[in-house]
Structure 1
């Protein structure tokens, strides 16, 4: 008997994250094998899974060969097609990235942010905390002249036999909105697909550990994750009414084979007011000699149930409340066989219709909990074995009262548009954004005037669409309104970012040339541009590096260098826009993309001696002829150039940890002078950074990586589309009220994207596209950020 028992209403906001219920148990040996297999499968992909992530969780990484190449709309849709349809739909892995464990993808969500570019992301890098910390995969995006949302929905999916068979077996149009189909889809899946996630357990008033009102409940010894081979146990309880409410009087449990493994009468703690014999079958005589308490039953259940057991019952929350028991993994048959508007079938009706068995009949005195537990168990086993689609089709008229009208045989030629294919497979699609020319049925579009309304509308939906595309336009609207014009605003962004790669150096000896400055500073990294600054008395230089790392090493190693008895100073430019530079550099060092990356420069032998001795004797002397003298030793700048090779770099840095990858950037026909080193773990990077003496012997300068792996050159990424007068450019370097407004707008955007990400179901492929811009002057690249949301 299941009386209506309402527990304390817990706050959904306090809900702990959903537990992963799909991780397979493996031996240490098999785990090692899987890791090796994974590394082989990724084939040079950029990202590796975080330590706490299940090896079976879906994840995405960009192939090394494509990491520094911008992706196009076609390549983005290539990924979305594979994520949604996979190999079972005849779709191949994308050519530019790898999505592992695609079958575990539960939904695909794309957010299109109009108006923003890749440069805007790094200009407001500190502000965009959610985007920079929760998306572990980034790649440059080539802007498109067409509507991106429309391009996604209307993209053509490659024809395949598997897809044709899927379309030929599509469900009747009238069934696509059936409550069972919309919840569980049409494909047969294992039992873990039907285990209630924790947020739904909270919503359905199941006892959940840590939630208010359940502090005195007993927890079973459950593992965090169950598998499709975990055992099912049917459970049913009977209750009576006491002075304190409903209390347990009988509990029955059956195992996966249907055998009864527990059937106990229980003496309520408080005085009984009503035995509810009509429903429970319990009488005063039956309980008179019973001494078994609720505590005794709790101990027996904890002993009986395996750690990976899945409890099955009908309105199971009432049983667990009566038992004052918390169990992590449950299947509720009243929520499997769903009705419209949240109504539920009685167990008696389901047993008679589906199992062809009569239970709870009039001639019996009360319910038999063994019989009810067995019925719930077999209903769950039948649903899992048969699959949601067949369950609906076989019992459509008996249970749900539907009668299907046959459709004409002359069906139209199947469409190969992405949105159409998903809908024929019973998967929902939706667009939320401003009204625009999106090639999608109007019934699948929701038009809103602001980003706030778009987010609120999406979060109000009771079920996340399988494919959802959201359009955020506030940043684009702001940039169109702001003064100076949008192009000038972008040029200011570029100028601010380029200044991060700039150092000022001097004073140099009289007559010191641009060529000599380049020879000196390129020991720290590739030099992009040098501007000589000649005052009436002394010579200074502005040095712009290709990478942030070059500027960092120049300040670290060349500041204080003595030339003809006078020290030169190497420092950052001082502008208001650079006041937070130290925070930005710290954040870039801690960026997940750079966690195990190191930047290294191989010095010429003579320059290595110069810098190493300088560190010990406080400087060295450069004579007027372009050579450096240290304790009588002359350094010639025309000395033999150092040459890097992957083998020598690996040999040197393997002392600190396993080197996963070495990248040697070099222009055509030139030898590489610096290297990007990726260790297998961040520990190797930290050991290298704390071992300067060993690296000095090998003539290496090192620092933490700052430039994200998908950018070949930080400075080149920020090159404006038109040239700007340097003086005019500098005049805009102060922090204006418009900069502050832009920063505020970015904070709002990041906050909304964080709220959206949190509302996505676990296993959702989340893609955020900063659209970039296309104008008469050329392309301004955008940025594509990708992550598969995992159980946290």
Structure 2
């Protein structure tokens, strides 16, 4: 049973999500499991690019970019290694490389004018920070050296043959299981592996109430295989078993039972489970009865086979020590897994889970998992990898070659290598000193001429660099004081992370405000506003998600007979903020991501907050404090659909009622997050691909995290199941922060060499510049035209072209302003 689901949501949510889902369908098909459409159609795999997880939050340097460009243009057949920070798959199918340098643009400019750049933000699925370089980018690319390149065709053929041989040993399946054909015991999970992969294991915390099968201590290569698959429904207590199927070694069904969930069903998940209310209405079979049947049917030396089997065993509340998980058997790089549907179509040449069928058939899925395991055991790892090469996406050609230490290496300039290799090259842009024949250079002063010159070419150059300089020219002419202009951009961006709150009671301190609001995310600074009649506060979060959660959960907090109002500042720069937030949620970098903060578990006294937040009511009382009355007859409230319930211990006797309320929120904010806990909690809603936890100084714990699902369905399911998550002390919202940004505020805060007082003065100066400059309208127009030209350029590129757009950033005497690097391989539907 694969852990994908779609939780119930009201019609308004479905309507809101429909357009975003439709926009992502094309993008999702090009991701890991989306490649099944090419397999089923018998089409060759198109090239694609992805960044290694360890480098997602690392900036790209000019040297790393040229490393990628060398490999994209020359490949392993040209003696060039796969880049160390990313993977370009099916490089031999790359039809060309196009690099565009947007002179004068920084990362902050992109997000300041985010809404006016639809092509850049939607057409590129890879976006990373770019470290500014003192060198001219075009010159740096063409003059970069390609180590170890040889132009001899004989050398190239020998290289390719050797790499293919070596690639076999680099394949994840071969690295795990070797090349020899062995019996089934070689592929059963060890106890250590089961614990690591969150399988139910006897004696481990969290599985105390699980039933255990009667199993021998060990199995042999002749032990029988049994395929199993489960379907679940969403109930008040989470996901509960609704159907289970078991097949024997011959694929015969020996058990196919519907099961009555113990709790009230909230969503039958019919789209995936095939279960309906009518099917379960007459069912009286319980989970315990199913456990008894399985224990009777399974021989003592039985080996259970399933796809993502850990989810099935948790649904069954069952511990079985001998298992083979086909999602771990057919391994991919970096721990990614294939869908059962893709494996069945590619390996077994059989279609399962078709869209015409209403939900999955667990018997069909159990048989598929069983036959996949039998095929792997019979064929052996080496032949599986060789015979099913299309399954791995041509990974046999992607291994790193072994270089003989005694072999001398030479370096060649990239421009020379390209031309000696017979590949056409071109530079189009402002006149500059680059290492390239003059016949391959075309100099123009406007972006319009650069684009027209490129599109006029009868045949697109294999490798081209275009230099767009209109924005840089505009900024230089309209804003002679570049630092002042940049400070205004930074101020506008930081304002997106700000909320105003109040009125607070007299004596309410900055420390109390910080402890109250940090439950929604990391707070950069708080400024108490005492010049008004009543006390208010200006809270600046490090992340946009913090501001969003504060508005959602704290607005309307009932304090001393009055409601705290939490609101965004209103200025020209924030009038379209709602559109920006919607666009950020649909951003390809955020579509599959969810932001979560963990409230601190109960310590001593329970405190219920009495308030009305965004139309919901929060109820506050404490066991040793007089309970607060609800205002205007409001009922107990919910955050994310559930009542806020937290604690704060060891309070001084003199603490006030409002301090108790603030303390409750603060106490809830300091809970430690771990990847294991997050994966365990959120994998119920869909396949969790990666957990992003912020780096913290030694001794400190992360309070928020970003969860990346395999698809956006996992995000929608989690958002629709906020009651369940609130019981686990989680507050969630859609992700707004792309992975290359550690903090929105940090992105807009330039590093300076002045002392702390001077730095504070610079910051204050930036905030004073938040009023929109009349020239900003002209800048918006230039940015819109620039994005339109980039879109025309992208559409004119041949399919299979690696398109790279670089915002080079800027360096100054006091700061380094990072840029951005966009990467995408153009496909026919782009």
Q: What's the TM-score, normalizing by structure 1? A: 0.60
Q: Which residue of 2 aligns with 1:649?
A: 678
Distance 1:52 1:595, change over 3 A: farther
Does 1:150 find its partner at 2:143? no
Q: Considering only aligned residues, what root-mean-square deviation do their CA atoms show, in Å?
A: 2.9
Measure, in 2, the Cα distance between the counterparts of 1:75 and 1:706. Answer: 27
Whether the aligned pair in 1 keeps the contact of 2:560 and 2:658 (CA below 8 Å) is no
The equivalent position to 2:693 in structure 1, one of 664, 672, 676, is: 664
Q: Secondary structure at the match of 1:568?
A: strand
Paired residues for 1:250-269 under 5 Å: none
Q: Which residue of 1 aligns with 2:521?
A: 525
Measure, in 2, the Cα distance between the counterparts of 1:153 and 1:733. Answer: 41
Measure, in 2, the Cα distance between the counterparts of 1:613 and 1:579. Answer: 28
Does 1:759 find its partner at 2:796? yes
The equivalent position to 2:557 in structure 1, one of 558, 561, 572, is: 561
Whether the aligned pair in 1 keeps the contact of 2:800 and 2:827 (CA below 8 Å) is yes
Q: Which residue of 2 aligns with 1:786?
A: 823
Measure, in 1, the Cα distance between the counterparts of 2:551 and 2:84. Answer: 41
Whether the aligned pair in 2 keeps the contact of 1:659 and 1:678 (CA below 8 Å) is yes
Q: Which residue of 1 aligns with 2:497?
A: 501
Q: Which residue of 2 aligns with 1:418?
A: 414
Distance 1:629 1:110, change over 3 A: same
Distance 1:621 1:750, change over 3 A: farther
The equivalent position to 2:588 in structure 1, one of 585, 592, 595, is: 592
Q: Which residue of 2 aligns with 1:339?
A: none
Q: Which residue of 1 aligns with 2:512?
A: 516
The equivalent position to 1:712 in structure 2, one of 729, 742, 764, is: 742
Q: Which residue of 1 aligns with 2:25?
A: none
Q: Which residue of 2 aligns with 1:740?
A: 777
**Residue 641 of structure 1: CA displacement?**
3.5
Whether the aligned pair in 1 keeps the contact of 2:143 and 2:413 (CA below 8 Å) is yes
User: Any unmatched runs of 5+ in structure 2?
Assistant: 1-29, 40-44, 158-408, 626-652, 753-758
Q: Which residue of 1 aligns with 2:454?
A: 458
Measure, in 1, the Cα distance between the counterparts of 2:810 and 2:826. Answer: 28
Measure, in 2, the Cα distance between the counterparts of 1:475 and 1:505. Answer: 38
Measure, in 2, the Cα distance between the counterparts of 1:701 and 1:438. Answer: 53
Measure, in 2, the Cα distance between the counterparts of 1:524 and 1:414. Answer: 55
- The one-character-per-residue Cα deviations of 1:107-142 (angstroms, maximum 9, x if unpaired) are 000000100100000111100011011011000001
**Residue 48 of structure 1: CA displacement?**
4.9
**Residue 546 of structure 1: CA displacement?**
1.0
Q: Secondary structure at the match of 1:747?
A: helix
Q: Which residue of 2 aligns with 1:680?
A: 710
Whether the aligned pair in 2 keeps the contact of 1:629 and 1:635 (CA below 8 Å) is no
Measure, in 1, the Cα distance between the counterparts of 2:610 and 2:46. Answer: 48
Q: Secondary structure at the match of 2:148?
A: coil
Distance 1:164 1:518, change over 3 A: same
The equivalent position to 1:695 in structure 2, one of 721, 725, 731, is: 725
**Residue 734 of structure 1: CA displacement?**
2.7
Whether the aligned pair in 2 keeps the contact of 1:47 and 1:61 (CA below 8 Å) is no
Whether the aligned pair in 1 keeps the contact of 2:513 and 2:662 (CA below 8 Å) is no
- The one-character-per-residue Cα deviations of 1:483-505 (angstroms, maximum 9, x if unpaired) are 36111111111110001111111
**Residue 61 of structure 1: CA displacement?**
1.2
The equivalent position to 2:50 in structure 1, one of 61, 64, 72, is: 61
- The one-character-per-residue Cα deviations of 1:298-340 (angstroms, maximum 9, x if unpaired) are xxxxxxxxxxxxxxxxxxxxxxxxxxxxxxxxxxxxxxxxxxx
**Residue 666 of structure 1: CA displacement?**
3.5
Measure, in 1, the Cα distance between the counterparts of 2:610 and 2:145. Answer: 60
Paired residues for 1:152-231 under 5 Å: 152-160=141-149, 163-166=150-153
The equivalent position to 1:101 in structure 2, one of 70, 90, 93, is: 90
Which one is further off, 143-152 or 714-723?
714-723
Paired residue total = 503
Distance 1:683 1:639, change over 3 A: closer
Q: Which residue of 2 aligns with 1:138?
A: 127
**Residue 733 of structure 1: CA displacement?**
2.1
Q: Secondary structure at the match of 2:806?
A: strand
Q: Secondary structure at the match of 2:115?
A: coil
User: Any unmatched runs of 5+ in structure 1?
Assistant: 1-45, 171-412
Q: Which residue of 2 aligns with 1:468?
A: 464
Measure, in 2, the Cα distance between the counterparts of 1:633 and 1:716. Answer: 27
Q: Which residue of 2 aligns with 1:438?
A: 434
Whether the aligned pair in 2 keeps the contact of 1:89 and 1:166 (CA below 8 Å) is no
Q: Which residue of 2 aligns with 1:359?
A: none
Measure, in 2, the Cα distance between the counterparts of 1:639 and 1:585. Answer: 26
Measure, in 2, the Cα distance between the counterparts of 1:535 and 1:621. Answer: 32
- The one-character-per-residue Cα deviations of 1:727-763 (angstroms, maximum 9, x if unpaired) are 6434432333211000000011001101111111110
Measure, in 2, the Cα distance between the counterparts of 1:563 and 1:633. Answer: 10
Q: Secondary structure at the match of 1:593?
A: coil
- The one-character-per-residue Cα deviations of 1:550-569 (angstroms, maximum 9, x if unpaired) are 00000000011112222111
The equivalent position to 1:487 in structure 2, one of 471, 475, 483, is: 483
Distance 1:93 1:611, change over 3 A: farther
Measure, in 1, the Cα distance between the counterparts of 2:518 and 2:568. Answer: 17
**Residue 535 of structure 1: CA displacement?**
2.3
Does 1:544 find its partner at 2:540? yes
Measure, in 2, the Cα distance between the counterparts of 1:746 and 1:621. Answer: 53
**Residue 99 of structure 1: CA displacement?**
0.8
Measure, in 2, the Cα distance between the counterparts of 1:626 and 1:107. Answer: 69
Does 1:428 find its partner at 2:424? yes
